[in-house]
Amino acid sequence: MNAPRKAALVGNPNAGKSALFNALTGARQKIANYPGVTVERKAGRLVLGSGEEIELIDLPGSYSFDATSPDEEVTRALVHGEFQGESAPDVMVLVLDAANLEQHLVFAQEVIELGRPTVVALNMVDLAQRDGLTLDPDALSQALGVPVVPTVAVRRKGLAELTAAIASAEADAMADDMAHPRPHLTLPERRLAARNIAKAAILSQSTTRRLHAGLDRILLHPWLGPPILFALLFVIFQAVFAWATPFADGLEALAGLLAGLVNTAVPAGIFRDFLTEGVIAGVGGVVVFLPQIVILFAFILMMEATGYMARAAFIMDRMMASVGLSGRSFIPLLSSFACAIPGIMATRSIADPKDRLTTILIAPLMTCSARLPVYGVVIAAVIPNIKVWGAIGLQGLVLFALYVAGIVGAMVVALVLRRSVTAGRASGFIMELPRYQLPRLRDLAIGLWQRAWVFLRRAGTIIFAATVVLWVLLTFPQAEPGESQLDVSVAGKIATAMHVAFEPIGFNREMTLALVPAMAAREVAVASLATTYAVDTEDEAQTEQALREQIASRWSLPTALAFLAWFVFAPQCLSTIAVARRETNGWKWPVFMLAYLFALAYVFAGITFWAATALGL
């Protein structure tokens, strides 16, 4: 007697495989509305019409046989007959979500390519109907070359038909035990075919559905999509400067007012200096960037809520693949625009260890929000607030260029790493695209409040602490009349010693000094400069002056540009190094990261300085 024949349920996560399995076998597997519920193989008995019993296997959902995560590997191994000596299934029951047909057809083709007897369960037709989709199972069957049975697993609809189709496929398998593999398509070819097959199978759809599909046709278009994404980002950085300016000016004026108030109300002395130079100039100099941060995150949250962000990941996938990264790195890298720490933690979703390591190593190159105050103050000080080519603000343009420099830097580094220390193959990536939605104001407001609070809390804690320490080091020992306070102070001595190394790349002494406390948090560079200049001025009216004006009068343009270039690359953040150590289980990679980032920062700041000087800027 032969072992019982075997059928396996395969398909994308959340297609309803386990729901079908339960309905067909009477089992009680866990089902839930998110991908990745089933993570191991489960078997049950299915009684065919003839009374014959076969074994039915429920498998974890999978996007591809190029398995990347451990649960997908179970599916791949079992289907290929490599699972703990178990033979490959005789019949494949491919479960597709009718409401997400196009996405599900990508993996479907890979399954059908195997050339085994296959039956498609076109599941969730109830949801498709609710969405205003009318499907043609016969057209789908024709396009795929395998039988298609519409089902609603949770209402037990189409089960008899599905069982009959499985029985007939099983009979075919009995008659001819050989697989007849079909030509192998590449991932982009499969995506294209998926779109065409879905188009052929969809008879009609409601207007919203059509609108959304139309939106996707434009936003995900291989040529239109990237420029649209690029243009959108461009507008965002214009807005960060243009819209924030009145608010930032208001906050700056407030800080000036406050300093004036303290100057009149508090008797002259160390305590007054501490308040005006350390707290108001230093910490206040950072807080004025709150409007910029809020505007940037308003855009990011909006892109996330509408469903556009997932599309951006999709668009970026190709570009990332060309440097040896997969689209899976997109979300971790995107989070790194807020802060590299959650970004590095998000790499846990990347299954391939080398993919993951590469992503960790380049995460600090994404421009985190802590750099925004540094960029903001230097740009406002040295880049004229003018329009170029008609309507484009030059300041926003420079900010955009700095973000792009970080991204391009990351891509180049990824390319080099993937050819050397983290050499390996990039894996494919498919993501389910969420439906378009209008953002809910309440969620947006909560998200913004959280970001603003994180920023203010940093200002009140780590930035405040670092600024106080720096102020003390700048203030003592006190200079005799005629001496410069900066020259005499402990901090000044440190700065002078360090300056030897940074003079060649155009840094002045105050900038060099700012690099040290900025290791605690990048924003402290701003606080540090503000405090240094406040301490360094004799005249108390000048302590009320905004840092922007101090920089404008003291720095040359090449020096300022070199400082910006430094902050694009430099690993100015100890917490990031600490997280990288934890996530890579050792010091090797964080030390590597530190070394390569400092080297890049130094070289690029130098190139920037010398190029700008040569150009006579």
Ligand X SMILES: Nc1nc2c(ncn2[C@@H]2O[C@H](COP(=O)(O)OP(=O)(O)OP(=O)(O)O)[C@@H](O)[C@H]2O)c(=O)[nH]1
**Residue in the structure block whose two tokens are 């420029």:** 227
Among the listed residues 383, 390, 380, the one whose alpha carbon sits nearest the alpha carbon of residue 617: 383
Least separation, in Å, of the C-beta of 307 and Mg ion? 24
Task: Assess 23 for contact with Mg ion (CB under 5 A).
Answer: no
Least separation, in Å, of the C-beta of 13 and ligand X? 4
Name which of Mg ion, ligand X, none residue 32 binds, using a CB cut-off of 5 to 8 Å depending on partner kind: ligand X
Which of residues 18 and 62 has its CB atom nearest to Mg ion in the complex?
A: 18
Alpha-carbon torsion (467, 472, 473, 475), positive or negative: positive
Which of residues 19 and 534 has its CB atom nearest to Mg ion in the complex?
A: 19
Which of residues 112 and 121 has its CB atom nearest to ligand X in the complex?
A: 121
Least separation, in Å, of the C-beta of 351 and ligand X? 16
Which residue in the shown chain puts its C-beta closest to ligand X? 61
Name which of Mg ion, ligand X, none residue 152 binds, using a CB cut-off of 5 to 8 Å depending on partner kind: ligand X
Which of residues 433 and 448 has its CB atom nearest to ligand X in the complex?
A: 433
Asked if residue 60 has a cis previous peptide bond (ω within 30° of 0), the answer is no
Which of residues 61 and 492 has its CB atom nearest to Mg ion in the complex?
A: 61
Only one of the segments 29-37, 176-184, 209-217, 223-231 lies at the binding site for Mg ion (rule: CB under 5 A); that segment is: 29-37
Which of residues 12 and 367 has its CB atom nearest to ligand X in the complex?
A: 12
Task: Assess 18 for contact with Mg ion (CB under 5 A).
Answer: yes
Residue 532 near residue 278, CB atoms below 8 Å: no
User: What is the C-alpha separation between 306 and 51, in angstroms, rounded?
Assistant: 51
Least separation, in Å, of the C-beta of 65 and ligand X? 15
Least separation, in Å, of the C-beta of 58 and Mg ion? 6
**Residue in the structure block whose two tokens are 């570009």:** 319
Going from the C-alpha of 54 to that of each of 7, 42, 388, 443, 479, the distances in angstroms are: 7, 14, 72, 50, 91
In 186-319 the beta strands, taken as DSSP E runs, fall at: 202-204
Least separation, in Å, of the C-beta of 452 and Mg ion? 40
Among the listed residues 403, 446, 443, 456, the one whose alpha carbon sits nearest the alpha carbon of residue 293: 456
Task: Assess 38 for contact with Mg ion (CB under 5 A).
Answer: yes
Residue 474 near residue 492, CB atoms below 8 Å: yes
Q: How many residues bind Mg ion (CB under 5 A)?
A: 4
In 196-268 the beta strands, taken as DSSP E runs, fall at: 202-204
Least separation, in Å, of the C-beta of 507 and ligand X? 54
Beta strand 6-10 pairing with 392-393:
unpaired
Which of residues 16 and 284 has its CB atom nearest to ligand X in the complex?
A: 16
Exposed, middle or buried, 21 (CB in 10 Å: 0-12/13-18/19+)?
A: buried
Name which of ligand X, Mg ion, none residue 219 binds, using a CB cut-off of 5 to 8 Å depending on partner kind: none
Task: Assess 78 for contact with Mg ion (CB under 5 A).
Answer: no
Q: Is 72 left (phi over 0), alpha (psi -120 to 50) or beta?
A: alpha
Beta strand 91-97 pairing with 118-123:
parallel
Which of residues 122 and 524 has its CB atom nearest to Mg ion in the complex?
A: 122
Only one of the segments 12-20, 134-142, 251-259, 273-281 lies at the binding site for Mg ion (rule: CB under 5 A); that segment is: 12-20
Least separation, in Å, of the C-beta of 153 and ligand X? 4
Considering only 7, 15, 20, 37, the residue that binds Mg ion (CB under 5 A) is 37
Which of residues 128 and 518 has its CB atom nearest to ligand X in the complex?
A: 128
Among the listed residues 396, 311, 299, the one whose alpha carbon sits nearest the alpha carbon of residue 338: 299
User: What is the C-alpha separation between 532 and 511, in angstroms, rounded?
Assistant: 10
Alpha-carbon torsion (334, 340, 341, 346), positive or negative: positive
> What is the helix, strand, coil percentage profile of the chain, to 5?
65, 5, 30
Name which of ligand X, Mg ion, none residue 150 binds, using a CB cut-off of 5 to 8 Å depending on partner kind: none
Least separation, in Å, of the C-beta of 11 and ligand X? 6
Name which of Mg ion, ligand X, none residue 13 binds, using a CB cut-off of 5 to 8 Å depending on partner kind: ligand X
Name which of ligand X, Mg ion, none residue 591 binds, using a CB cut-off of 5 to 8 Å depending on partner kind: none
Which of residues 6 and 371 has its CB atom nearest to Mg ion in the complex?
A: 6
Going from the C-alpha of 236 to that of each of 244, 314, 443, the distances in angstroms are: 11, 20, 20
Residue 180 near residue 151, CB atoms below 8 Å: no
Chain contacts with ligand X (rule: CB under 6 A): 13-19, 31-33, 35-38, 60-61, 123-124, 126-127, 152-154
Which of residues 25 and 508 has its CB atom nearest to Mg ion in the complex?
A: 25
Only one of the segments 36-44, 291-299, 447-455, 582-590 lies at the binding site for Mg ion (rule: CB under 5 A); that segment is: 36-44
Least separation, in Å, of the C-beta of 9 and Mg ion? 8
Residues lying near Mg ion in the complex (CB under 5 A) are found at 17-18, 37-38
